[in-house]
Homo-oligomer: A and B are copies of this chain.
Amino acid sequence: MNSKFEELKDYLAEIHDLYTVASVLSWDQQTYMPIAGVESRAMQMATLIKHAHELFVSDKTGQLLDDAKAEISDKDYDSLEVSLVRVTRRKYNRLIKIPTKLVVELTKATSLGDIVWRKARETSDFSIFQPHLEKILDLTIQKAEALGYEDRIYDALLYEFEPEMKTSQVEKLFNELKTGLIPIVKAISNKLDIIDDSIFDQEFDEDKQWNFGIEVIKNLGFDFKRGRQDCSAHPFTTGFSTDDVRITTHIYKDQFKSALFSSIHEAGHAMYAQGLDKKFNRTILRNGASLGVHESQSRLWENIIGRNKNFWIFWLPHLKKFFPTQLEEVDVNTFYKAINKVEPSLIRIEADEITYNLHIFLRFEIENLMLEHKIKVRDLPELWNSKMKEYLGIFPENDAKGILQDIHWSHGMIGYFPTYSLGNMLSVLFYNHAVKDIPAIPDEIKEGNFEPLLNWMREKIHKEGAKYTPGELVKRVTGEPIQTEPFLTYIKKKYSDIYDL
């Protein structure tokens, strides 16, 4: 049958293909592309995105959406058909507001921005990145204005990553988090030295780190037949279908925790992407509900599981086989405390579960200032450093460890950072509900069996793809809206134990 819905689906599938091809280009750029390839890559990317965008925002899409909607009016809200039309329509109505020319300019600017950021970070020289960031910010503001907003310009951008979430809501949640977290940070700051993590002052062979990480994420449930891991400057996850999902990590001899927890974090994203309903391939529904929900999965596996004592009851003996010299004398309590040591630190992705959020508050505030023209790009390093001092009491010795540490802005991802802390909150919310349904989960983890937990996530979250807004999904899964309380309770309990507060 050649229904209008099928026609729409086929048409959108090709557009989806073009966007996933862009993801292949981006993966290649961040993993293997020779440095001189950047210019031709920027052109390839711009051409690809231009064609995909033009096809998507065409009148044809609008017409097909109307026709298909009429045709499937008897189907359920939850059906693939109605969901595809609904979610596509939401994106369509948004994107038709952005001129193709602006989309192409942003693609070119961010494709070059990525490479320049890498060089700038390597040499810790913000000045070479500055003009690129200025350009990207300028284009992003144009984009936000084109999209329109009622209250705050930040709203226009946040929507792309966290549909229907408002900046004011984020501020409210973040204020609650601050109020809850700061007393804990203070209490701990008097006891910083009671935890000895000197085992991590040793060197750990890179190949062995790599192999151990692979073993762990395989066991958690990352399917290497449908995915792979490589190295990149900034770890990330990307996927082109449920059958080709790729993660990256980075390995340093003198930073054992870095590669392992990066791998677990990205594997969390990747298991979400591998767990989507296969029927969603080549559709807009082959996505997480939002980036916040995506982070709930990565942060769940990285923190609630990866920094859990039961997890290490199972894994520490294996790890000792990889590093007998370094870890000979370590017991699981010492190890558990060492990986959970709270310490104000410069690099967000290396931060502990508590101070991590302070990094996010800082980014969120700076992004708002940038978008509202309250700070100039050239003054960002100074602002960054002073805010680091204010929030974390430390001061980066250079911009590579400061303003330049993250890739996101170079990719035009402004308005994205809050999703990390939203993810933290959601991870606890979801985990608590999983344990309520399957009380054996903590014991299973102790045995190295992560299947019950993964299956719960698959069933409740993964398989739904992008059918629901994050608000809808959280409500369906937990019966509640997103909230700070479960996360704060989790933090209080865990760190009261560790620091004997």
Interface residue ranges, A against B (CB under 8 Å): 13-14, 17-18, 20-21, 24-25, 28, 32-37, 39-41, 43-44, 46-48, 50-51, 224-228, 230, 240-241, 243-244, 246, 281-282
Contacts and interface: CB of A to CB of B under 8 A. Distances in A.
A44 B25 contact: no
Given A33-B244, A225-B36, A43 B17 contact: yes
Given A18-B51, A21-B48, A24-B24, A37 B282 contact: no
A313 to B, nearest CB: 32
A282 to B, nearest CB: 6
Given A13-B47, A36-B244, 19 more contacts: A13-B43, A18-B47, A18-B48, A21-B44, A21-B48, A24-B28, A28-B28, A32-B32, A34-B224, A34-B227, A36-B225, A37-B226, A37-B241, A37-B243, A37-B244, A39-B243, A40-B241, A41-B244, A43-B282
A390 B448 CA distance: 60
Contact of A44 (B24, B43, B227): B24
Nearest to A38: B243
B230 A32 contact: yes
Nearest to A27: B28
A426 to B, nearest CB: 28
A39 B241 contact: yes
A48 B230 contact: no
Pairs of residues from A and B, 8 with the lowest C-beta to C-beta distance, nearest first: A37-B244, A40-B241, A17-B47, A36-B243, A36-B226, A14-B47, A17-B44, A21-B44
25 contacts: A13-B47, A14-B47, A14-B51, A17-B44, A17-B47, A17-B48, A18-B51, A20-B40, A20-B44, A21-B25, A21-B44, A24-B25, A33-B244, A34-B224, A34-B225, A34-B228, A34-B244, A34-B246, A36-B225, A37-B226, A37-B240, A37-B241, A39-B241, A40-B282, A44-B240
A51 B53 CA distance: 13
Nearest to A21: B44
A227 to B, nearest CB: 6
A366 to B, nearest CB: 35
A244 B41 CA distance: 9
Contacts of A224: 34
Contacts of A47: 13-14, 17-18, 21
A118 to B, nearest CB: 14
Contacts of A17: 43-44, 46-48
A243 B38 CA distance: 8
Nearest to A18: B47
Contacts of A225: 34-36
A41 B41 CA distance: 19
A494 to B, nearest CB: 36
Nearest to A227: B34
A18 B44 CA distance: 7
A2 to B, nearest CB: 16
Nearest to A17: B47
Nearest to A224: B34
Contact of A228 (B25, B32, B44, B51): B32
